[in-house]
Structure formats: structure tokens, C-alpha cells
Chains A and B, each alone.
Chain A
Amino acid sequence: MKRHGYAPYLIPGVIASVAVIVVPLVMTVYVSFTKWTGVGSPRWVGFDNYTRLFADSLFWASFGHIALLIIAMAVIPTLLGLVLAAVLFDYIAKHFGDRWAGLFRSGYYVPQVLPVAVTGIVWGWILHPGYGALNRILEAVGLTGLAKDWLGDPDYALYSVMGVMIWFQLGYPIVMFMSGLQRIDPSLYEAADLDGAGWWQKFRRITVYMIRPEFYVVLVTTTIASLKIFGQVFVLTGGGPSNATLVPSYFAYKNFFEKAQVGYGSAISTVLTVLIVILAFVFLRLQNRAEDRA
């Protein structure tokens, strides 16, 4: 039975999306070709903002920091989460019961449900050089030499932020992978046991192979999340010290709201957007091809 006339149901969604997404997006792309302080009318300058951007060492530095944050937010949590999910799913659940596996999973996931700004406050305080808990703990156990200005020293600030982000992200891949593992037919493992396969072999040949869809999704969503990172950096370091933790979104924010260089800020966010969209489509193609082959 063919159905017609559903189009009216799209009207509210289309109007709202045009107002909140399409129009602002087009405006930002337009403004990126102008010089504008936010008052008066923008002055067309062609590609000036972009040529300036690609010559700006801060812009490249901010993307360099993102590369490291991708390691902390995407690569490490995905790999570590894969191992932890497998251990919880086919070791803890089997030997101690599902309740224990579920308990660990929820516990590891807790940092993900806290507001980003609040986790920033927690860590900003723990890592504070003067009254922070970490340095006080190091002093208490006699390792005063290791105490540092974790977030205030340009040599360490980015690594500190990376550490916080691993802590923040780890729960997400664990939950995703554990739900993917439920699809696997237990008889596969039994067959492998009969063939004398060890835990590592089963992990590589069955577990990793079967949850490839989740693996792709986790990797791409966490990578996109690292490209977008703002809140933690805003609260923990404000992009400092001396731009050691500057990231593209914060760089754009500063240009918009602190320096009143709206055209330049728009160029930064346009480049970031293009990068994210390309990444997402490359990922979708890869995933479709992987599904076709399977």
C-alpha cells in the first residue's frame, strides 16, 4: 500500500532546522570571507582570513594539540576499552556473574555522565599547584620532587589535559563494546575452545573481528569529539599557559568573543567543520565497504 501526504509532518522540523542550523551555518561561511567586529556591516576581504589562518602558527599549534588529544580521547580509550570490555564480558561475567560485570561497567562509565564543566572543576582542583590534592599526596608519600604545576607549566599542561581526557572517555567504549559482544554466538567460543585456542587467540580472532561495527563507530565518534573539545580546556587551562593547550574551538571562541575578530573566528570554525564532515563521510564509506565485504 503506497502512502502519500506525509510531507506536512516535516514542516516544523524543516522550519526549525533552517532557522537554527542552515541560516547560521551559511552566515558563518559568508562572514569567514569578511572582516567584521560584530557591529556595523562586514567588509568583504575574499580569502584573506584563510591565507592568514594557514600562516598562523597558533592555528597549526591548535591542530597539533588536537592530534595528541585524539590519542588521549580516541586511540587509548578505544584500545583499553576493548580489552576491558572483553575481560568483563567473557571472564568476569563467566567466573563471577553478570552482576559484577555490570557493576564495573557502570563504575567506569560514571565520568561520562558528569557535566564537562564539573569534571573540569574536580581536576582543576586536584591538579592545582598550591592547594591541589595530587601535589599534597605526593608530598605526603615523600615524592615532593614529582610535584608540579600540572596545568600551569607549558611543558606538562597538555599531558595533564590528556590524562584527564583518558579518565573521562574510558567508559564510553566499554559500554559500546560490551553491548556489541552480546551479539556474538557463544558457540563460536566453544568451538574455539575445542580447537585449543587460548584467550588471546579468541580475543583477536573472534571478539575483535565480530565487533568491528562498534569499533568503527567508537573510533570516529571519539575522534570527532576530540576535534570539538571545548569545555574541559575552558575550565582546566583556558587554552594556556602561553597557548600550550589551545584547541581550535577555543581559538575560535577567543576570536569571536574576546578579540572581536568575527571573520577570523568564522574561518577557524569553517575549517574545523569541513574537517569533521570529511572525516565522517570517509568513515561512512569505509564502514559501508566493510559491510559489503562481510
Chain B
Amino acid sequence: MTVTISPPAAPPSPVTPKAARHRNPVRFVVLAVLAVLLLLILAPLLVVAINAVKSPAEYASNGPLSIPTSLYWDGIVDFWNRVNFGQKLWNSFVTSLVVAVLGVLLSILNAYALGIGRVKGRVWFLVFFLVANLLPQEVLVYPLYYISKEIGLYDSLIAVVIIFTVIQSAFGTYLLTSVYAEFPRELLDAAEVDGAGRWRTLWRVVVPISMPTLGVLFTFFFIWTWNEFFLPLVFLVSNDNQTVPVALGVLQGDRMMDATTTSASALIGILPALLFFLIFQRTLTRGIAAGAIK
């Protein structure tokens, strides 16, 4: 499978908006249909947002669709304090950041040996990383749970960081190897002529030139780790160690959760993810095509 990073820019459309002479109504019908679909997709998030800042009394009398007459922050503040949400945000942030950094580093080392070094048996290594990337986490979870208990890493962010670094780097290795296989040989030869060893060549030539791809990988690893649910659910049992998705997920069905509290909890779960999306949007849309296999 060929994996390439496509350039972000679309080729200029042959017909520019101004040049579209016939202003027929069909195109506004098409636009309206797409807009309605967009509204339907975003509607659940909008409904969550308006109810997160609505008082329970107002929800009871006016229902979910009324615009709140006044902003009511108590639902969010109460929920935040009750679950100690700042701590969960910090746990998620640290875990995702460390996994993204270590995952990219491990991918670089693997891909350097496989893509540029072309070590013996590299096809089998690649098959291994491809399969590792496909494995359902269920098939790894119990032994990992058992081993981490034996070595005292159960209920610790360190275990989650180690596991996700390896899982994400399986994908990263697969992607980056195909990028490094096309790496311009002249540059490597030039570095060798200049007397640079392999270690220097890696950090002074290969890494700087592949920075855009590494940026895509970093972004993916960060967001994927942030959104992970299954393994953190199993590993992070104590309140102080939970990540955002786990903390919110296990509260479902809790009898303390009424309509407005639930939407408050959903809103503070949505906001960080939406923030990352806005920050990383360009990298993401460019990289999704590259991340074909996930």
C-alpha cells in the first residue's frame, strides 16, 4: 500500500466563482441541502451547549430547545469541582503529550532502520507493524493488566504512556518507513561525504527534512491518545489518575446526573477536543489521507 502525504492546496478550480455566469437557482438548492445536513450534524453539539448553561428549573419548564434566558454557570462549575476536572485535564494532557513525543521518536528510529537503512528482513518487520496496528486492544488487554499488576504499574499513567507509545509508533513506523524509503539518496550520500555518522545524519538531515510528516504524526498521536477510552478505562481506576474520557464515561448512569449536569459534563468534554481541532485543523485534514490505514 502506498502512503503519501498529499499537498494541502487544491488545484485551482477551472471555473472561478465569479466566472460562473449562469446564476441558476439549482446551486443554491444544493448549498441549502448541504447546509441543512451540516446543521443536523452539529445540532447535538449545539443542543448540548445551550443546555449546559441553562438552570435545571428552566430546563424543566421550557424544555431542551429554549434559548436560556440567563447564563447559568453553576451546572458546569459544580460538575467541574465534583469530579475535580482540572486534574483529569492535566492527566489527559500529560499522557497525550508524552505519548506523542515518545511515539514520534520511536517511529523515527524504527523507520530510519527500515526505510533508509533497509535492514535485512524489513518486509517482515513491516508486516509485523502493520498487524500490530490492526490488533484489537481486547486481545492485549488482559495480559497487560496482569503484567502491570505484577510489576506495580497498575493504576498508573506510566503504564498507559508505555502502552500507547508502542501502539501509536506501530502506525508511525509503518507510515514513516514508506516516506523514508523515498528519501533523496543524494542527501544521505552528501552527509556521508561530509563525514557525518549515521546518528548525526539522522538528526541533522533526515529529521529536519521530514518535519512536516513528523508534525502530522505528532498531531495524530496526541489526539488519538487524548480520545482513547478502552485501555485507560481498564488501567486507571482511581479518581486521581483518570483521563477526561474515562472520568466522563464512567459517570454515565450515575443518579447524580440530570439533564443539565449531563450536558455540562458533555460540554467540558467537547471543548478541549474542539480546541485541538481548531489548532491542528490544517495538519489534520492534510494528514488524514496520509493516515490511510487507521
Interface residues of A (CB under 8 A from B): 1, 3, 5-10, 12-13, 16-17, 19-21, 23-25, 27-28, 31, 38, 84, 87-88, 91-98, 100, 104-111, 113-118, 120-126, 128, 131-133, 136-137, 140, 167, 170-172, 175-176, 179-180, 182-183, 186, 189-190, 213-214, 217, 221, 224, 227-228, 230-231, 234-235, 238, 248-249, 252-253, 256-257, 262, 265-266, 268-270, 272-273, 276-277, 280, 284, 287
Q: A5-B117, A269-B139, A273-B135 are in contact. List 13 more A-B contacts (CB 8 A).
A: A1-B192, A5-B198, A6-B117, A20-B140, A21-B132, A92-B34, A114-B274, A117-B245, A121-B248, A122-B48, A175-B289, A190-B14, A276-B136
Chain A residues, Cβ within 8 Å of B131? 277, 280
B239 at the interface (CB under 8 A from A): no
Task: Point out which of A96, A121, A221 has the most chain B C-beta atoms below 10 A from its C-beta.
Answer: A121
- At the interface, is chain B mostly helix, strand, loop or mixed? helix
Chain A residues, Cβ within 8 Å of B252? 120-121, 124, 235
* Nearest Cβ on chain B to A263's Cβ, whole angstroms: 10
The answer to whether B139 and A115 touch across the interface, beta carbons within 8 angstroms, is no
Distance in angstroms between the alpha carbons of A124 and B254 in the assembled complex: 12
5 nearest A-B residue pairs (beta carbon): A6-B117, A24-B143, A117-B249, A118-B269, A179-B289
Distance in angstroms between the alpha carbons of A175 and B282 in the assembled complex: 12
Distance in angstroms between the alpha carbons of A180 and B162 in the assembled complex: 35
The answer to whether A31 and B227 touch across the interface, beta carbons within 8 angstroms, is no
The answer to whether A256 and B289 touch across the interface, beta carbons within 8 angstroms, is no
B101 at the interface (CB under 8 A from A): no
Known A117-B245, A190-B14; judge A110-B234 contact (CB<8 A): no
Distance in angstroms between the alpha carbons of A80 and B88 in the assembled complex: 37
The answer to whether A91 and B30 touch across the interface, beta carbons within 8 angstroms, is yes
B109 at the interface (CB under 8 A from A): yes
Give the residue of A10, A214, A248 whose beta carbon is less than 8 angstroms from that of B114.
Answer: A10
20 contacts between A and B (CB under 8 A): A1-B185, A1-B189, A6-B119, A9-B202, A13-B173, A24-B139, A28-B140, A28-B142, A93-B13, A97-B17, A98-B13, A105-B285, A113-B274, A118-B266, A121-B269, A137-B65, A214-B289, A228-B136, A256-B141, A262-B142
